[in-house]
C-alpha cells in the first residue's frame, strides 16, 4: 500500500512539474511574441510621432528585448524563436537608423536656423549683438551713444578689413550710410560739438579705408575668377 502511494505521489509530482514547465514555456512564447508585435507596431507609427517619442520607444524596446532574450531559456524550440527575434532586431535596427538620422538632420536644421546669417553676424560685430536687424532701424542711436557707435563701427572695420569681400564692403557702406542718416537726426537733438568733431575724424578715417580695401577686394576676386 505504501509502495502504491509512493508511486502515485511521484506521478502527481511529475504531472505537476510537467504542467509547471508547460506554463513557463507558454509565458516565454508570449514574451517573445510580445516583442515581435511591438517591433512590428513601430513600423505603423507616424515618423513625427516616432521622433517625438523616440527616447520612450528605445527604453521600451530595450526592456522587451531583454525579456525576450531571457524567455529563450524556457523554450524547447529556442532556435526557432531566436530566428524570429533576430528578424525583428534587424527590422528595428533599420528603423532606428532612419529615425536617428532624421532627428540629427532636424536638430542640425534647427541649429542653423537659430544661427545668424553672415550679414547679421556682420551687423552684430559692427554695432553689437542684435542691435541692427534686417529693418536697419537705428532709432536706438542717440546723442549720448552715437560717438561710441561710430567708434565701434570704424574699429571693427579696421580690424577686419583684410578679410572682407567686395559684397561685405557693399554691405558695410550701406550700414555706414544708414548710420550717417541717423546722425543728421541726432545732431538736431543736441549732439555736442566735441562728439561731432570726433565723429568727423572717424569718418575721415573710414572713407579712404573703404575705398582702398573695396577696390582691393574687387581686384582679388577678378584675379581669382581668372584662375
Q: Measured between alpha carbons, how far is 217 from 227 in angstroms, rounded to an integer?
A: 16
- pLDDT by 10s per residue, the chain, length 227: 444 444 344 434 444 444 455 788 889 889 989 989 999 999 888 888 998 899 999 999 999 999 988 988 888 777 888 888 899 999 999 999 998 888 888 887 776 666 568 889 999 999 999 899 888 999 999 999 999 999 999 999 999 999 999 999 999 999 999 999 999 999 999 999 999 999 999 999 999 999 999 988 766 665 665 55
Instruction: Say what the pLDDT of residue 201 is.
Output: 96
Instruction: Say what the pLDDT of residue 7 is.
Output: 38
| Cα distances (Å, whole numbers) of residue 140 to 45, 171, 172, 185, 197 | 51, 20, 19, 12, 21
Instruction: Say what the pLDDT of residue 62 is.
Output: 93
Instruction: Say what the pLDDT of residue 111 is.
Output: 66
pTM attached to this predicted model: 0.52
Instruction: Say what the pLDDT of residue 34 is.
Output: 92
Instruction: Say what the pLDDT of residue 191 is.
Output: 93
SS3 readout for the chain: CHHHHHHHHHHHHHHHHHHHHHHHHHHHHHHHHHHHHHHHHHHCCCHHHHHHCHHHHHHHHHHHHHHHHHHHHHCCCHHHHHHHHHHHHHHHHHHHHHHHHHHHHHHHHHHHHHCCCHHHHHHHHHHCCCCCCCCCCCCCCCCCCHHHHHHHHHHHHHHHCCCCCHHHHHHHHHHHHHHHHHHHHHHCCCCCHHHHHHHHHHHHHHHHHHHHHHHHHHHHHHHHHHC
Instruction: Say what the pLDDT of residue 127 is.
Output: 95
Q: Measured between alpha carbons, how far is 105 from 111 in angstroms, rounded to an integer?
A: 10
Instruction: Say what the pLDDT of residue 106 is.
Output: 83
Amino acid at each position: 500500500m505504501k509502495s502504491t502511494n509512493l508511486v502515485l505521489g511521484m506521478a502527481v509530482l511529475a504531472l505537476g512539474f510537467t504542467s509547471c514547465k508547460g506554463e513557463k514555456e507558454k509565458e516565454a512564447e508570449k514574451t517573445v511574441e510580445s516583442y515581435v508585435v511591438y517591433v512590428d507596431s513601430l513600423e505603423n507609427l507616424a515618423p513625427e510621432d516616432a521622433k517625438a517619442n523616440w527616447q520612450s520607444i528605445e527604453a521600451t524596446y530595450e526592456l522587451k528585448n531583454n525579456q525576450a532574450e531571457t524567455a529563450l531559456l524556457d523554450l524547447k524550440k529556442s532556435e526557432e524563436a531566436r530566428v524570429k527575434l533576430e528578424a525583428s532586431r534587424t527590422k528595428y535596427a533599420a528603423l532606428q537608423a532612419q529615425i536617428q538620422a532624421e532627428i540629427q538632420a532636424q536638430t542640425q536644421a534647427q541649429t542653423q536656423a537659430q544661427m545668424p546669417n553672415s550679414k547679421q553676424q556682420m551687423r552684430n560685430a559692427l554695432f553689437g549683438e542684435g542691435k541692427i536687424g534686417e529693418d536697419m532701424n537705428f532709432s536706438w542711436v542717440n546723442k549720448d551713444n552715437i560717438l561710441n557707435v561710430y567708434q565701434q563701427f570704424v574699429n571693427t572695420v579696421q580690424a577686419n578689413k583684410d578679410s572682407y569681400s567686395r559684397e561685405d564692403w557693399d554691405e558695410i557702406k550701406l550700414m555706414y550710410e544708414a548710420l550717417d542718416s541717423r546722425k543728421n537726426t541726432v545732431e538736431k537733438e543736441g549732439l555736442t560739438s566735441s562728439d561731432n568733431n570726433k565723429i568727423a575724424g572717424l569718418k575721415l578715417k573710414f572713407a579712404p579705408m573703404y575705398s582702398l580695401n573695396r577696390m582691393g577686394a574687387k581686384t582679388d576676386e577678378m584675379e581669382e575668377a581668372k584662375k
